[in-house]
Amino acid sequence: MPSAPQPSRRFFFMLLAAAGVLIALVIRPLASALFLATVLAGVLWPAQCWLSARLGGRRSLSGAAFVLGVVTLLLVPVVAFSAFAIKEGTEGVRYVSQTVRGDGVAGLVDRLPAPLPRLIKKGLDQLSDEQERDLAGTVQEKLSAQGGKAAAAIGATLSATGAFLFQAVMMLIAFYFLLLQGDQLVAWVDDLSPLKRGQTRELMTEFKKVSYSVLLSTIITSAVQAVAALAGYLIGRVPHPLFFAGVTFFAAFIPAVGAGAVCLVAALLLFVTGHTYAAIFLAIWGLAVVGLVDNLIKPFLIKGGMEMNGAVVFFALIGGIGAFGAVGLLLGPLVVTLFLSLLRMYQRDFRPPRAAAS
């Protein structure tokens, strides 16, 4: 068949490039949701096939079961923790405001940890009664202003929660359809790809292996860090230890700093409430024990499921988060895996044989 005239080919590729740009613009608002749905569907595909076979080949029923499981295990705790944090923050602002209104600044100072009350009272003793009343009025006025800011912050939090729920719903919808027709989609992409038949499927297999290793290692590491942090919370008598342990679990998905940061926040809470020694213990526990778990367990688990050096894995995780945000925890190692897999394919399938040494 004769080839198309050069102007037609040029115009065709211009249209193809324009269509690619438009597709990217359409996908961009949902890119994170679609990416996470693809990763979850690839990781859970063997389990989907197993459950579907047990249910008489009804993929729709097994897919719905997996969607329900994801909602139960991931989304419900996140929403519950967000609601709890908003509630506790609002009650904290109300408590401070009522204390100042009822007992004045002196009553609020009495509730600070030692030796702060003694030092602050020395300064208050230098004030006259009128100046102290003016100070109390100023504090109350600032609290009222901060109350408005707190309300605005809560509104922003609710807005962010709404955006998160929208992305989560889109992810669950895509996840469900990928569980139903994932094998057909892989076959279609492999057939359409300009690579040799089977090479695209080989890349997807590598992606699946890396995604499984990253997800499994992250979940296990986060769980171990949450348990270690819970032990510290119980020893230090942190209020609501289970809540802080849950926050630690989700914060631990941020490598190196997440879980330790929650421990430091809890230690600060203990210090503000007058438990100085418990605060010091918890800060040391969070940095030395909880933080050490992340540095030891996660690289070991990821390296066990990937043909990649441990240092490369570490920098792929950190660089991915810096470039793409939270989703970079998965995207960073996948980008590195894509690059290394393409190099192996080139060496195996495209690199010309070297001339024999003379």
Using one digit for the tens of pLDDT, what is the confidence trace for 192-229?
877 777 788 888 888 888 888 878 888 888 888 889 88
Q: Tokens representing 276? A: 């100085």
Q: Measuring CA to CA, which residue among 288, 235, 293 is closest to residue 264? A: 288
Question: Same domain for 198 and 342?
Answer: yes
User: pLDDT band at 95, cuts 50/70/90?
Assistant: low
Helix then strand then coil, in percent of the chain rounded to 5, is: 85, 0, 15
The confidence score (pLDDT) of residue 135 equals 52
Task: Pick the last residue of a domain from 183, 209, 242.
Answer: 183
The confidence score (pLDDT) of residue 58 equals 87
For 195, counting Cβ atoms within 10 Å of its Cβ (0-12 exposed, 13-18 middle, 19+ buried), the class is: middle
Contacts of 197 (CB under 8 A, 6+ apart): 190, 191
Residue 199 is assigned to a structural domain of this protein: yes
Question: Same domain for 201 and 332?
Answer: yes
Q: Report which of residues 84 and 61 the model is more confident about.
A: 61
Provide the percentage of residues in the chain whose pLDDT is more than 70: 68
Is 60 exceeded by the pLDDT of residue 307? Answer: yes
Give the range among 141-145, 311-315, 333-337 with minimum mean pLDDT. 141-145
Is 50 exceeded by the pLDDT of residue 110? Answer: yes
Distance CA 208, CA 47 (A): 13
Question: Same domain for 37 and 177?
Answer: yes
User: pLDDT band at 88, cuts 50/70/90?
Assistant: low
Residues of the domain holding 115: 31-183
Residue 170 is assigned to a structural domain of this protein: yes
User: pLDDT band at 333, cuts 50/70/90?
Assistant: confident
| Region 83-101 average pLDDT | 62
Is 60 exceeded by the pLDDT of residue 268? Answer: yes
Residue 241 is assigned to a structural domain of this protein: yes
Residue 23 is assigned to a structural domain of this protein: no
Residue 20 is assigned to a structural domain of this protein: no
Question: Same domain for 321 and 250?
Answer: yes
- The whole-model pTM stands at 0.65
Contacts of 159 (CB under 8 A, 6+ apart): none
Question: Same domain for 101 and 131?
Answer: yes
Is 80 exceeded by the pLDDT of residue 290? Answer: yes
- For the stretch 43-72, pLDDT in tens is 888 888 899 889 888 888 999 999 998 888
Tell me the three state secondary structure of residue 253: coil
Task: Pick the last residue of a domain from 183, 217, 234.
Answer: 183
The confidence score (pLDDT) of residue 251 equals 79
Question: Same domain for 227 and 299?
Answer: yes
Question: Same domain for 141 and 227?
Answer: no
User: Exposed e or buried b for every residue in 279-308, given b needs 16+ CB within 10 A?
Assistant: bebbbebbeebbbebbeebbbebbbebbeb
Q: Report which of residues 97 and 340 the model is more confident about.
A: 340
Question: Same domain for 151 and 230?
Answer: no
User: Which among 91-100, 299-308, 324-333 has the top mean pLDDT?
Assistant: 324-333
Question: Same domain for 205 and 145?
Answer: no
Is 80 exceeded by the pLDDT of residue 174? Answer: yes
Residue 18 is assigned to a structural domain of this protein: no
Q: Report which of residues 208 and 98 the model is more confident about.
A: 208
Tell me the three state secondary structure of residue 330: helix
The confidence score (pLDDT) of residue 176 equals 92
The confidence score (pLDDT) of residue 177 equals 92
Task: Pick the last residue of a domain from 164, 183, 202.
Answer: 183
Three-state SS string across 291-325, please?
A: HHHHHHHHHHHHHHHCCCCHHHHHHHHHHHHHHHH
Number of domains in the chain: 2
The confidence score (pLDDT) of residue 305 equals 60
The confidence score (pLDDT) of residue 181 equals 87
Is 80 exceeded by the pLDDT of residue 118? Answer: no
Residue 26 is assigned to a structural domain of this protein: no
- For the stretch 133-172, pLDDT in tens is 555 555 555 555 555 555 555 555 555 667 777 888 888 9
User: Which among 31-35, 119-123, 280-284, 287-291 has the top mean pLDDT?
Assistant: 280-284
Question: Same domain for 217 and 173?
Answer: no
The confidence score (pLDDT) of residue 221 equals 85
| Region 119-138 average pLDDT | 53
User: pLDDT band at 319, cuts 50/70/90?
Assistant: confident
Give the range among 45-49, 317-321, 333-337 with minimum mean pLDDT. 317-321
The confidence score (pLDDT) of residue 358 equals 46
Give the range among 47-61, 105-119, 283-297, 319-333 with minimum mean pLDDT. 105-119
Q: Taking all residues of the chain, what is their mean pLDDT, rounded to a whole number?
A: 75
Question: Same domain for 293 and 261?
Answer: yes
Residue 12 is assigned to a structural domain of this protein: no
Question: Same domain for 210 and 316?
Answer: yes
